[in-house]
């Protein structure tokens, strides 16, 4: 009987070890499971704007960044020029100060703000790359779902894609409320659109509403071309990186920018959720090996542009081309005499009808070459000589 009892005990121990080993394998499989964003189910009921604000507001965060800027005070510029960039990339350390500085290096801390989207309960945050690019410190403010209290966290950069203008941050937090991704391909013009973000860097969790104005609008800002969603929901500096939600409370876009074109006042843009989802998952799952598709270098003229489409051309009696909305100080474009409001119609002897044309033509140029730029300026053709600048190296390292 003793031998039989011992055999039973031994059998139980072996079975226990097998079960334990099995659970360990299951646990390991769960830990190694690739990250996937939370996506919406097919069936959903339309919600009111207050319900969307309540349900989705806790998935949106405010972001503040600090960047140390070193400048030489012999240049044109005040260190306070563009101090509050609010995530739009406005401003330059070389502004409109006196050129009679003493030629010594000085520095100041540039503060900016934007928005972000919670994509996991354990602290992954999606935002625009331009909101956090070059920042020395990133602070994320999270609104609790069951409280009016706000908590702040220091964030680290997991990785980014400059070509898609997205970045993923990580904060040390648990129990967060991730946004539910919708299908941006299903959007149609005229349906409701709700924007939640941090306008002006001061109104955390602000809600604005409008409609989807267009679903396929190609535009270029800082040499990044986006096939954007257009909306008339109010978007202001600081909303960059925030969420564009549909009538079901599903995330269908990452807020990208407000139009600064006079002709398009009141229109804002968002990157479709379907265009960023795969990149977000790749950044998180392959953070040690992720590389942006545009890794390398590119020629930066120092302009912010948007397309003058055929429809806009006919409506406002303007030539097709690319409309300049901003010219950076001390840039190749400024030195050539390009101005805000110019419409580029030719570059280096080739016709320009859209931002994609301009980018392809630029890519064929050599640094130091002098090329002719033809612009429409207030209805008159103006020809300017531009010196092609050195390509700008693109940093795609993950941190």
Catalytic (active-site) positions: 130, 165, 240
CA dihedral 132, 277, 396, 354 (to 10 degrees): -90
Residues 6+ apart with CB under 8 A from 94: 71, 75, 76, 77, 81, 329, 330
Is there a contact between 323 and 308 (Cβ–Cβ < 8 Å)?
Answer: yes
How far, in whole angstroms, is CA 103 from its chain's centroid? 36
Token representation of residue 227:
């096939």
Burial profile 57-82: b = 16 or more Cβ within 10 angstroms, e = fewer: bbbbbbbbbebebebebebbbbbebb
Which pair of tokens denotes residue 272? Answer: 């479709």
| Alpha-carbon distances of 361 from 328, 365, 393, rounded to whole Å | 20, 7, 19
**Who's near 108: CB < 8 A, 6+ residues apart?**
68, 69, 71, 79, 80, 83, 93
Contact 160, 283 (CB under 8 A): yes
What is the distance between the alpha carbons of residues 257 and 260, in angstroms, rounded to a whole number? 9
Compute how many other C-beta atoms are within 10 angstroms of the C-beta atom of residue 356: 14
């Amino acid at each position: 009987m003793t031998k039989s009892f011992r055999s039973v005990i031994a059998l139980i121990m072996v079975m226990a070890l097998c079960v334990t080993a099995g659970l360990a394998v299951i646990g390991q499989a769960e830990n190694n499971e690739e990250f996937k964003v939370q996506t919406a189910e097919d069936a959903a009921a339309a919600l009111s704007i207050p319900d969307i604000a309540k349900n989705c507001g806790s998935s949106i965060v405010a972001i503040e960044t600090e960047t140390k800027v070193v400048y030489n005070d012999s240049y044109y510029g005040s260190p306070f020029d563009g101090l509050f960039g609010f995530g739009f990339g406005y401003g330059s350390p070389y502004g409109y100060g006196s050129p009679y500085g003493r030629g010594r290096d000085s520095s100041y801390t540039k503060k900016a703000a934007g928005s972000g989207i919670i994509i996991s309960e354990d602290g992954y945050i999606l935002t625009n790359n331009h909101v956090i690019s070059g920042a020395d410190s990133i602070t994320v403010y999270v609104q609790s779902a069951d409280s009016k209290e706000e908590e702040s966290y220091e964030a680290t950069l997991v990785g980014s894609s400059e070509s898609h203008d997205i970045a993923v941050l990580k904060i040390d937090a648990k129990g967060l409320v991730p946004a539910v991704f919708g299908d941006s391909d299903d959007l149609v013009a005229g349906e409701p659109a709700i924007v939640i973000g941090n306008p002006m860097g001061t109104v955390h969790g602000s809600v604005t509403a409008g409609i989807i104005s267009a679903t396929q609008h190609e535009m270029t800002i800082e040499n990044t071309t986006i096939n954007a969603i257009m909306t008339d929901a109010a978007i202001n500096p600081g909303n960059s990186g925030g969420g564009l939600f549909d009538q079901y409370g599903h995330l269908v876009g990452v807020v990208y920018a407000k139009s600064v074109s006079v002709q398009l006042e009141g229109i804002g843009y968002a990157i479709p959720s379907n265009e960023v989802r795969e990149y977000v998952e790749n950044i998180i799952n392959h953070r040690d090996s992720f590389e942006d598709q545009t890794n390398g270098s590119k020629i930066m003229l120092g302009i912010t542009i948007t397309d003058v489409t055929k429809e806009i051309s006919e409506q406002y009696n303007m030539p097709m081309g690319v409309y300049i909305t901003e010219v950076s100080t001390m840039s190749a474009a400024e030195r050539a005499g390009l101005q805000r409001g110019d419409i580029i119609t030719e570059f280096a002897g080739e016709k320009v009808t859209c931002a994609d044309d301009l980018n392809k033509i630029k890519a064929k140029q050599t640094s130091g070459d002098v090329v002719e730029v033809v612009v429409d300026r207030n209805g008159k053709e103006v020809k300017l000589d531009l010196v092609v600048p050195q390509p700008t190296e693109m940093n795609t390292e993950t941190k």
